[in-house]
Structure 1
Amino acid sequence: MDKQIHTKYAILGLLTIGCQTGYSMKKMMDGSLNHFWKISYGQIYPTLKSLVEEELITVQEESESGKPDKKKYELTSLGWQALYNWMETPIEELGVEKNELLLKLFFSHHQSNETTFKQLDHYKLKLLERLNTYQAIDEMIRGTYGDQEDAKFWLLTLDYGIRTTQAASEWADEAKKKLTSRR
């Protein structure tokens, strides 16, 4: 299943958690989903238009004084069914992570170990920044949404991010040890 089809379901899912406008969807993606699923702003509105055409969602324009009309979207029963069917279908393949450090590391025989060590150190700093972000998100979810049913699932996806970030940091340490022992 291609990424475009998954984007369709990401947007259907966003509608279930109260994101009813393209703007609110983008805000939720930037603050949450972007850590594991990237959707550009330019994908949102064409996908919403397509979902309306497929009768999976409806759109209603609301007027606001002094502002442009706002389009609010809502799932139809057909949309709910499509989302449920997609969620019940097992994943087809594991996603492939694009990782610039790994790409550079793959070709690192063309540079000094010192440069490679600097790359690994910089990578670890970026991982620490990500881990700090994840911990702040964890606190926000627990403090703001802790008693809501959705929160436990949001925390599960966040836990995946925390664990993979910690594992990547450990890997970077191990990579440096292996490079040092081969000198």
Structure 2
Amino acid sequence: MAKENHTKYAILGLLTTGCHSGYSIKQMIDESLNHFWKVSYGQIYPILKQLVDDGLATVQTTSQDRKPDKKEYYMTPKGKLALQAWLQTPIKDIPTEKNELLLKLFFSSHQSKTTALNHLTQYLEKIRERYNTFESIEQMINENLSDQADAQFWLITLDYGKRTTKAVIEWCECTIKKLKDG
């Protein structure tokens, strides 16, 4: 049985946030979903086409001076029902994270401890940057978007990111100490 593509629901959901072009959808993904749901630009337009073909969205084309025609997508009533049905469906699987650092550490008996420590230190720096990004996003939502119906739920998913990122920071610091002491 083919695995269901949940990215179509991510894009369908983004249509409810005022994102109606492939470009605005990609911007919203990069600014909000990208920390927990990766979507490449190359996935967006085929999924939008599929949503239209399935009757879950419509497309309106607008001519523009000296630019390609602009396509804007809107959810249909059938699309709204599909999104609501998916939202009510129980979670089936806990996702498995692919993490290059963990993979390298797993096989680190085949490299120098210094190299492993360098990987951990670089990772720690990047994960701290991610945490700072989450704090900036939280501030922006609280200051500019708190009146949005989705704001509470954006903050809930952001809190998950902050908490898991903080745990990774603590794990990195502890692991670096273990390797240095051991």
TM-score between the two structures when normalised by the length of structure 1: 0.93
- Residues 121 and 176, structure 2, Cα contact 8 Å, conserved in 1: no
**Sequence identity of aligned pairs in percent?**
58
Partner AA of 1:179 in structure 2: L
Match of 1:69, SS state, is strand
Match of 1:127, SS state, is helix
Look up the match of 1:110: 110
Task: Report the alpha carbon displacement of residue 4 of structure 1 after superposing the two structures with TM.
Answer: 6.2
In the alignment, the residues of structure 2 paired with residue 112 and residue 66 of structure 1 have an alpha-carbon distance, to the nearest angstrom, of 58
In the alignment, the residues of structure 2 paired with residue 166 and residue 113 of structure 1 have an alpha-carbon distance, to the nearest angstrom, of 24
Task: Report the alpha carbon displacement of residue 5 of structure 1 after superposing the two structures with TM.
Answer: 1.5
In the alignment, the residues of structure 2 paired with residue 165 and residue 117 of structure 1 have an alpha-carbon distance, to the nearest angstrom, of 19
Q: Judge which range, 6-15 or 116-125, deviates more.
A: 116-125
In the alignment, the residues of structure 2 paired with residue 3 and residue 42 of structure 1 have an alpha-carbon distance, to the nearest angstrom, of 19
Look up the match of 2:75: 75
- Residues 8 and 51, structure 2, Cα contact 8 Å, conserved in 1: yes
Segments of structure 2 that go 5 or more residues without pairing to the other structure are none
State the superposition RMSD in angstroms.
Answer: 1.6
Task: Report the alpha carbon displacement of residue 2 of structure 1 after superposing the two structures with TM.
Answer: 6.7
- Residues 138 and 155, structure 2, Cα contact 8 Å, conserved in 1: yes
The change in CA–CA distance for 1:3 and 1:15 in structure 2 (over 3 A counts) is farther
In the alignment, the residues of structure 2 paired with residue 73 and residue 3 of structure 1 have an alpha-carbon distance, to the nearest angstrom, of 25
The change in CA–CA distance for 1:138 and 1:3 in structure 2 (over 3 A counts) is farther
1:33 equivalent in alignment to 2:33 = yes
Look up the match of 1:170: 170
Look up the match of 1:64: 64
Task: Report the alpha carbon displacement of residue 6 of structure 1 after superposing the two structures with TM.
Answer: 0.6
Task: Report the alpha carbon displacement of residue 3 of structure 1 after superposing the two structures with TM.
Answer: 7.0
The change in CA–CA distance for 1:177 and 1:3 in structure 2 (over 3 A counts) is farther
Alignment of 1:3-152 (within 5 A): 5-152=5-152
Task: Report the alpha carbon displacement of residue 46 of structure 1 after superposing the two structures with TM.
Answer: 0.7
In the alignment, the residues of structure 1 paired with residue 136 and residue 12 of structure 2 have an alpha-carbon distance, to the nearest angstrom, of 27
Task: Report the alpha carbon displacement of residue 180 of structure 1 after superposing the two structures with TM.
Answer: 4.0
The change in CA–CA distance for 1:19 and 1:2 in structure 2 (over 3 A counts) is farther
In the alignment, the residues of structure 2 paired with residue 3 and residue 68 of structure 1 have an alpha-carbon distance, to the nearest angstrom, of 35
Q: How many residues align?
A: 182
Segments of structure 1 that go 5 or more residues without pairing to the other structure are none
Task: Report the alpha carbon displacement of residue 115 of structure 1 after superposing the two structures with TM.
Answer: 2.1
